[in-house]
């Protein structure tokens, strides 16, 4: 199985042939980590890691780094570490949501219970730092631990705001920044830091800002897709956010246009059928297009952050990644 999705072919063409080779090594490393803690963990963590997804964060590490001068072992570690932190949060999110399916497979929590899922997430998180610390860079560990704190803080914020339809856009965006954007930012930061080999590098700040902005756009689009619900999202109903009390941008914007929605208590949305109706009402206000438009603005801002003196292929690849974040399932 190649880890490069079809839509990533253009990115790889622009970024260089080293990218798929390094992605494959990251894939192998993830498998090794899952296998290195006994058969129970291999099964538990392996199923989450193998369910895979797009490996967007490792891809960001590699493309932000540019072509490596050596074998790229440090980039493999950094990409693996970022994906392990992401996997840890997936496992823990599933504990929180008691989700039964993720990407069409049984989740850890469904197959082994909350106990094993909590411990598995902890182990993946610790394993991320064990990978990364081998790069010998304090700044890299700092970037990843900051993102790790942010992820958990974002989760707490989301729980604190659950069922609150009055949540302001700024607070929603803050939550997206913590839950999603900071890890995208960290991925870019790690790539640049590793490429710079411990030297100060002027690309860290702009590429970190690029990563943060496409992370925000990514989360907004995720929230749009939860309402619009394309058929490609196998195994997920529309309106899962509404059902678990997570108030997102489409609902916030729709409430400004539709008095019935504004008067709706989110706790009253109790069935998938009712959630689908509310999704239709949200879509009818144009809030999905306006949300997408916010995401597109952020992608444009992200591209504007890119230093003009980046190698042309790397510049192009980062632009393609940014576009891909909002073109998903569209």
d(CA 58, CA 188): 9
Of residues 309 through 328, those in contact with a copy of itself by CB under 8 A are: none
At 246, list the tokens.
Answer: 């997570």
Q: Which helix (H) or strand (E) holds 274?
A: helix 272-284
Under the criterion CB under 8 A, does residue 267 sit at the interface with a copy of itself? no
226 and 238 Cβ atoms separated by less than 8 Å = yes
Task: Rule CB under 8 A: say whether 155 interacts with a copy of itself.
Answer: yes
116 binding a copy of itself? (CB under 8 A) = yes
Q: Which of 5, 13, 24, 37 binds a copy of itself (CB under 8 A)?
A: 37
Contact pick of 8, 14, 22, 44 for a copy of itself (by CB under 8 A)? 44
- Binding positions for a copy of itself, 72-101, rule CB under 8 A: 88-89, 92, 95-96
Residue 196 has phi, psi (to 5 degrees) of -80, -10
Q: Is there binding between residue 157 and a copy of itself (CB under 8 A)? A: yes
Q: Quick one: 139 or 310, whose CB is closer to a copy of itself? A: 139
Instruction: Look up tokens 């529309």; give the residue.
Output: 238
Q: Tell me the C-alpha distance between 149 and 3, whole Å.
A: 28
In 3-state terms, what secondary structure has residue 214?
helix
- CB closer to a copy of itself, 228 vs 246: 246
160 binds a copy of itself (CB under 8 A): yes
Binding mask 212-241 for a copy of itself (x = CB under 8 A): ------------------------------
145 binds a copy of itself (CB under 8 A): yes
DSSP state of 179: I
Strand residue runs (E) in 184-289: none
Q: How far is the CB of 31 from a copy of itself (least distance, A)?
A: 17
Residue selected from 40, 166, 201, 280 as contacting a copy of itself according to rule CB under 8 A: 40
Helices (H), 134-198: 138-160, 169-176, 182-196
Size of the site for a copy of itself (CB under 8 A): 45
Q: Applying CB under 8 A, which of residues 31, 53, 146, 206 lies at the interface with a copy of itself?
A: 146
Q: Which residues pair with 105 in a beta bridge?
A: 102
Give Cα 74 to chain centroid, integer Å: 22
Residue 187 in contact with residue 212, Cβ under 8 Å?
Answer: no
Taking the complex as a whole, how short is the minimal distance between the CB of residue 271 and a copy of itself, in angstroms? 22
* Cβ contact 326:300 at 8 Å: no
Compute the least distance from the CB of residue 306 to a copy of itself, in Å. 28
Retrieve residue 229's tokens.
């619900």
Give residues in contact with a copy of itself (CB under 8 A).
Answer: 37-38, 40-41, 44, 88-89, 92, 95-96, 113-116, 118-123, 125-127, 129-130, 133-134, 136-138, 141-142, 144-146, 148-149, 151-153, 155-157, 159-160
């Amino acid at each position: 199985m190649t880890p490069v999705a079809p839509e990533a072919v253009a990115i790889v063409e622009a970024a260089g042939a080293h990218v798929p080779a390094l992605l494959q090594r990251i894939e192998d490393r993830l498998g090794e980590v899952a296998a290195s803690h006994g058969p129970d963990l291999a099964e538990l963590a392996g199923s989450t890691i193998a369910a895979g997804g797009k490996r967007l964060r490792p891809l960001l590490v590699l493309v932000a780094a540019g072509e490596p001068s050596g074998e790229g072992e440090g980039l493999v570690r950094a990409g693996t570490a970022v994906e392990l932190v992401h996997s840890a949060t997936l496992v823990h999110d599933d504990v929180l949501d008691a989700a039964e399916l993720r990407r069409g497979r049984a989740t850890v929590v469904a197959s082994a219970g909350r106990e094993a899922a909590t411990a598995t997430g902890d182990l993946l998180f610790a394993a991320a730092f064990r990978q990364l610390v081998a790069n010998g860079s304090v700044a890299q560990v700092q970037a990843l631990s900051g993102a790790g704190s942010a992820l958990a803080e974002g989760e707490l914020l989301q729980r604190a705001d659950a069922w609150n339809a009055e949540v302001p856009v700024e607070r929603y965006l803050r939550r997206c920044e913590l839950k999603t954007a900071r890890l995208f930012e960290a991925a870019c930061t790690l790539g640049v830091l590793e490429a710079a080999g411990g030297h100060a590098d002027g690309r860290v700040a702009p590429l970190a800002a690029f990563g943060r902005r496409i992370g925000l756009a990514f989360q907004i689009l995720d929230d749009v897709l939860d309402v619009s619900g394309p058929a490609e999202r196998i195994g997920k109903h529309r309106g899962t956010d509404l059902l678990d009390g997570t108030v997102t941008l489409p609902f916030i914007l729709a409430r400004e246009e539709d008095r019935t929605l504004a008067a709706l208590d989110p706790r009253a949305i109790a069935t998938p059928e009712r959630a689908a109706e509310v999704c239709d009402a949200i879509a009818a206000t144009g809030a999905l297009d306006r949300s997408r438009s916010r995401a597109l603005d952020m992608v444009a801002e992200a591209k504007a952050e890119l230093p003009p003196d980046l190698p042309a292929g790397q510049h192009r690849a980062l632009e393609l990644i940014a576009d891909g974040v909002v073109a998903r399932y569209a």
